[in-house]
Structures are given as structure tokens and as C-alpha cells.
A = this chain, B = another copy of it.
């Protein structure tokens, strides 16, 4: 698969399906693994890195879910294209930034990816639409068994999987849920609700990952603890807490539509009106307007656009995607104009389709 083909397709994890799709965009699990006989990445050299790539790619040939995948070699990608893979949640910002011999295997529909020579030798990831961490886990567990069964993985009987950073030792598992909480943001209880979850070993970040501001009322909730609990236990805790947050969110949405229906509908419709008409649109403004539109679709205030279109745009309006679609170098002003044009076209064709469907 080429990068151009990748840009044009909609990742399966953004198809708007899965449980609680009106609140949960996607579920992700990842595993950190390292090869026992090669120094962990903090100390390793070029030759070590090359060995990791060779061993992992060779082993992957024999794994059914990976042998059709594409390997993107960081060395051969421009900065913008590495960034594009970050925007698609296929690699971490760390892998995009670090030099050396790293890369990522990506399967056809972007559900599975394996980063090579990031912080750990291997970072295996599975992404699914909606609130489906168990499904993602089963998919990933299978790949882990098949791939790592062919590799000599650093594992300690007491500690579990060994990793470059001690925070990942144990299961090496991080599960995270991308959740949309406009109701809690609007009733201003989101901080209160989310502050509590650190106590049960979970952590919250913004859409763009660690250390980024929250935009568009999108949050990533993930486990902090990887040690001393089994994989099912980690997932079970995450699921239980996220279910509570979903309930809080539903309740906030009900309150808003009961007590301030006109104002909420106004916010939703104006946001749609601006997205469908703007000629200049920053990424951050897009996120905030799209959040209101998503709330509208989720609560039935709006019939169009579909969740899948909103999900797709989440990824496609980011700078490197805009850049890649233009096929030429753009400054920030020009990107804001291209972004506005792209969003407008997608909204226009979505509403045409829906009109035709209804007619």
C-alpha cells in the first residue's frame, strides 16, 4: 500500500460502528515487546536496530494478519509523511521524531500496526471503532502470540515483559478509549468526573496525546498501570470506569437538552452552518465546531452528517493530510483555506447524498 492509497482510504477504526458509537470514537490496545538478545533502544546502535527490523519483518512474513501489511521505513519518509502516520494514529510522535532505523508495519485496513524501534523494539497496536477494547485485545493477543512466538522476547517470570521504560514493564499493555464528552464539558463537570479516575490507575489525555490541550471535547482515557494485574483485569477496570463516564455523559446530554434545548440546538446548528460555509478554518476551530456537530448527530438533533464522516475528518483535516492532498508545500494560511474547502466539499456531498437517499 502506498502513502497516497493510505491517505485516500478511511481507516476501519473510524467507521462509526461498535458499541456506544455516540460517545466512543474508538478503542485501542498496544503491547510493548523487546528482543532479549538485543540491547533495548535507549542504548542500541545502528547495527542493533537493523537486526531488530530484520528479525521482526522476517517473523511477520509467517503471521497471517501481518503478511499482507506494508512496512513504512521512517528513513525513507519526509517529515510531513511521518507526521501523516502520526495523524492516523499509526505511529507515535516519538517514532516520527527520532532518527535511526525505525518503521511501522500497517495492515490493509489500519486495524493493526507494529512499530519497530520506537522506545521498545516492538509496539504492537490494534484499533477498533466504538467501545470495543475486548475485540481489540483479542485481535492483538492473537498477533502477539503468533509474532512473538517466533521471536526471542525479553520476559521475566516475576516481572513479566521487560520494557525500555519501567512504566511499561509487566503486561506491556496500554488500552485507551477515545471518548467524546461535550455534555460534561458544557455542564462543566468534566474536570470533576475525570479527576477521580487517576485513583483507579487510569489517566486522561487530549486527542493529540500526552501533554496536548483538550480540543473538541475529545479525551483519551487509558490505564497507567501495566504491572501486577493481568491483561483481562486491566481491561475490565478500564471498561468499568469508562461505562460510568458514558452514563455521566448521557445524563449531562439529557440535562442540557431538557434545560437549554434552544441554546444547545443553536450551538449545534451554527457549528454546522459555519463548517459548511467557512472559507478559512484552523485545525482547532474545526475540532470545536465538529464537536458540536457530533453532539448534534449523537443526540438526534441532526440527521446529517454521518458519524463516519465526522470521524474521517478528524484525521483528514490535520496539517500533514491537508499538505499531502494538496500535493505541494502549503503555509499555514493556505492550509486553513484548503481545510475549509475540503470540509465544505465533504459536507456538501454528504448532504446531497442524504437528500437523494431521502427523496
A: residues with CB less than 8 A from B are 262-263, 265-266, 269-270, 272-280, 333, 337, 340
Complexed CA–CA distance, A7 and B274 (Å)? 31
Complexed CA–CA distance, A270 and B279 (Å)? 8
Chain B contacts for A278, CB-based, 8 A: 266, 269-270, 273
Q: Which 10 A-B pairs have the closest CB atoms?
A: A273-B277, A273-B273, A266-B279, A269-B277, A266-B280, A265-B279, A273-B274, A270-B274, A262-B337, A270-B278
Complexed CA–CA distance, A265 and B277 (Å)? 10
Chain B contacts for A270, CB-based, 8 A: 273-274, 277-279
Complexed CA–CA distance, A277 and B270 (Å)? 5
Chain B contacts for A274, CB-based, 8 A: 270, 273-274
Taking CB as reference atom, which chain B residue is nearest A272? B277
Interface of A is mostly: helix
- Whole-angstrom distance from the CB of A341 to the nearest CB of chain B? 10
- Whole-angstrom distance from the CB of A349 to the nearest CB of chain B? 16
- Whole-angstrom distance from the CB of A356 to the nearest CB of chain B? 14
Complexed CA–CA distance, A211 and B131 (Å)? 59
- Whole-angstrom distance from the CB of A84 to the nearest CB of chain B? 25
Asked if B279 contacts A276 (CB within 8 A), the reply is no
Complexed CA–CA distance, A277 and B265 (Å)? 10
Chain B contacts for A262, CB-based, 8 A: 279-280, 333, 337
Chain B contacts for A277, CB-based, 8 A: 269-270, 272-273
Further contacts, 16 of them, CB under 8 A, given A270-B273, A273-B274, A273-B276: A262-B279, A262-B280, A262-B333, A262-B337, A265-B279, A266-B278, A266-B279, A269-B277, A269-B279, A270-B274, A272-B273, A272-B277, A273-B273, A273-B275, A273-B277, A273-B278
15 contacts between A and B (CB under 8 A): A265-B279, A266-B279, A266-B280, A266-B340, A269-B279, A270-B278, A270-B279, A272-B273, A272-B277, A273-B273, A273-B274, A273-B275, A273-B276, A273-B278, A274-B274
Chain B contacts for A269, CB-based, 8 A: 277-279
Chain B contacts for A337, CB-based, 8 A: 262
Taking CB as reference atom, which chain B residue is nearest A276? B273
- Whole-angstrom distance from the CB of A295 to the nearest CB of chain B? 14
Taking CB as reference atom, which chain B residue is nearest A261? B279
Chain B contacts for A333, CB-based, 8 A: 262
- Whole-angstrom distance from the CB of A225 to the nearest CB of chain B? 45
- Whole-angstrom distance from the CB of A166 to the nearest CB of chain B? 50
Chain B contacts for A266, CB-based, 8 A: 278-280, 340
Q: Which of A270, A275, A278 has its CB near the most chain B CB atoms (within 10 A)?
A: A270
Complexed CA–CA distance, A61 and B275 (Å)? 57
Complexed CA–CA distance, A263 and B336 (Å)? 11
Taking CB as reference atom, which chain B residue is nearest A337? B262
Complexed CA–CA distance, A277 and B276 (Å)? 10
Complexed CA–CA distance, A262 and B279 (Å)? 6
- Whole-angstrom distance from the CB of A340 to the nearest CB of chain B? 7
- Whole-angstrom distance from the CB of A202 to the nearest CB of chain B? 37
Complexed CA–CA distance, A157 and B243 (Å)? 90
Chain B contacts for A276, CB-based, 8 A: 273
- Whole-angstrom distance from the CB of A347 to the nearest CB of chain B? 10
Instruction: Name A280's contact: one of B263, B273, B280, B340 (CB within 8 Å).
Output: B263
- Whole-angstrom distance from the CB of A265 to the nearest CB of chain B? 5
Complexed CA–CA distance, A275 and B270 (Å)? 8
